[in-house]
């Protein structure tokens, strides 16, 4: 015998069944994650997101420039150490010649032979000390050179530790910048177009510095050619560079080799902005670009903005190595 039960209970059971079916249907039809809806995003929200991304990428860019500057200092210190090593080698040979002249009549003397056979500065000093043939002035000069070398080696150790810390800092800032870019990258193409994200201005058919100086036109030609390129930290290749790498490219066309560091390139920026001429390098702490005239610049901005136009007002001084 089938028991019908209470009609109210049957209605409640049926209602629960339909609710369960509705939940399952919605779970199938609604994706777990949806793209950013153009109607749900305002231009002001995206503008704020872009400012946040620009700030983080700017911080990462400045960290990269600090690292590049440290690497420049490491290279310069290495060059000084090599120079001192050459100087020491020259001193060793010079002192050997002095001893040879002093003891040329005693060539068979064991002490003289030990001096002439010395292969390093410490060995030579010990041998010469036995023969008491080196003046206090020479010893003082040797000590001064040795002290300078030790000082440079200590500086090198400090610079390498600093470079390691800066590399770690840069990696952390890179990660934060990538995280901040996820939001903008998630916008669909139509919304990006409406909000002006990723849009680039066209390159003019004809461009000139207006100065009649061919070298300035050559700098502008390279800068314009790089428009639309990608920002690559530490890069200096065509359409793939960071800010100082772009400036390097522009002046490389003139046969001028510049250091890959905005702070090193800043030494050429000795004029106030009011005297900026198209083709000049423009500088602010941690960043450089190329001035193209009419208050505008071409810069390798950041991974999200790439190599694109900028404004002169954001810089503090200008100049060129020519």
Answer whether residue 290 is part of any domain.
yes
Do 253 and 218 contact (CB within 8 A), yes or no? yes
Residues 188 and 252 placed together within one structural domain of the fold: no
Answer whether residue 121 is part of any domain.
yes
Distance of CA 307 to the CA centre of its chain: 15
Answer whether residue 27 is part of any domain.
no
pLDDT at 33: 38
Residues 111 and 74 placed together within one structural domain of the fold: yes
pLDDT at 32: 40
Total number of domains constituting the chain: 2
Answer whether residue 13 is part of any domain.
no
Only one residue has tokens 């909000």, namely 195
Do 131 and 112 contact (CB within 8 A), yes or no? yes
Cα 220 from Cα 226, distance rounded (Å): 10
Only one residue has tokens 């779970």, namely 27
Q: Which domain covers residue 284, as residue numbers? A: 202-319
Residues 187 and 240 placed together within one structural domain of the fold: no
Answer whether residue 120 is part of any domain.
yes
Q: pLDDT truncated to tens, each residue of the chain (322 aa)?
A: 444 445 444 444 444 544 444 444 434 444 443 444 444 566 677 778 777 877 887 787 778 778 877 888 888 888 888 888 877 777 666 666 665 665 555 444 555 555 555 556 565 555 555 455 455 556 666 677 778 888 888 988 998 999 899 888 888 887 887 777 777 667 656 665 665 555 555 677 777 888 899 999 999 999 999 999 998 888 999 999 999 999 999 999 999 999 998 989 999 999 999 999 999 999 998 899 999 999 999 999 887 778 999 889 889 999 999 9
Q: Both tokens of residue 98?
A: 């002095």
**How many residues are there in the chain?**
322
Three-class SS state of 198: coil
């Amino acid at each position: 015998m089938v028991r019908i039960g209470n009609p109210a209970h049957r209605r409640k059971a049926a209602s629960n069944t339909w609710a369960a079916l509705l939940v399952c249907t919605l779970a199938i039809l609604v994706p777990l994650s949806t793209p950013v809806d153009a109607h749900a995003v305002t231009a002001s929200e995206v503008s704020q997101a872009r400012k946040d991304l620009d700030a983080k990428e700017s911080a990462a860019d400045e960290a990269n420039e600090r690292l590049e500057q440290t690497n420049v200092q490491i290279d310069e210190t290495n060059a000084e150490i090599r120079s001192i090593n050459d100087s020491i080698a020259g001193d060793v040979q010079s002192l050997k010649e002095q001893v040879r002249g002093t003891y040329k009549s005693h060539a068979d003397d064991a002490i003289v032979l030990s001096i002439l056979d010395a292969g390093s500065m410490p060995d030579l000093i010990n041998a010469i000390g036995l023969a008491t043939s080196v003046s206090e002035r020479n010893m003082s000069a040797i000590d001064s050179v040795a002290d300078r070398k030790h000082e440079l080696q200590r500086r090198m150790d400090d610079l390498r530790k600093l470079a390691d810390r800066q590399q770690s800092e840069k990696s952390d800032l890179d990660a934060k910048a990538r995280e901040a870019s996820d939001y903008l990258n998630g916008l669909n193409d139509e919304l990006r177009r409406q909000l002006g994200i990723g849009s680039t201005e066209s390159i003019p058919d004809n461009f000139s510095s207006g100065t009649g100086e061919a070298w300035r036109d050559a700098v502008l030609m390279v800068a314009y050619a790089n428009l639309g390129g990608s920002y690559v930290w530490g890069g200096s290749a065509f359409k793939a560079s960071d800010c100082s790498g772009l400036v390097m490219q522009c002046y490389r066309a003139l046969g001028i080799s510049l250091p890959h560091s905005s702070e090193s390139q800043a030494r050429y920026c000795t004029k106030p902005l009011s005297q900026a001429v198209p083709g000049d390098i423009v500088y602010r702490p941690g960043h450089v670009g190329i001035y193209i005239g009419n208050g505008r610049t071409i810069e390798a901005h950041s991974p999200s903005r790439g190599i694109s136009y900028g404004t002169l007002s954001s810089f503090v001084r200008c100049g060129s190595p020519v």
